[in-house]
Amino acid sequence: MADEKKQQYYKAKREERLQYQRNYYIRNRNRIIRKREVDAVIDPEKREAVCVYNRNYYLANRERIVESRKRKRDALSAQEVQDAG
């Protein structure tokens, strides 16, 4: 029962969570980028590990990622056509 309630809650709050994450990144973008730069200088192995992880994740989830990007691109194109017309 608790799992069903959790799922309903997270589905209902999904857009709010995503908007919060976008706003957080926008507010803290420079700090995040600077931290990555510092980490790359201090610990190059960490940077390499992150690159390896990202590559493996992409390869494992490539179909889903490409499909998601295609949906976003198509939605943006449809919106541009609607705005122009």
- Residue 71's alpha-carbon distances to 13, 63, 74, 85, in angstroms, are 21, 12, 5, 21
More confident: 76 or 45: 45
State the Cα–Cα distance between residues 7 and 5, nearest whole angstrom.
5
Instruction: Tell me which residue of 73, 25, 72, 36 sits closest to 17, measured CA to CA.
Output: 25
The total number of structural domains that make up the chain: 2
| Residue numbers of the domain that contains 77 | 45-85
On whether both 33 and 50 belong to a single domain, the answer is no
On whether both 49 and 72 belong to a single domain, the answer is yes
On whether both 49 and 76 belong to a single domain, the answer is yes
Question: 69-79 pLDDT, tens per residue?
Answer: 999 999 988 88
On whether both 34 and 61 belong to a single domain, the answer is no
**What's the mean pLDDT in 34-53?**
94
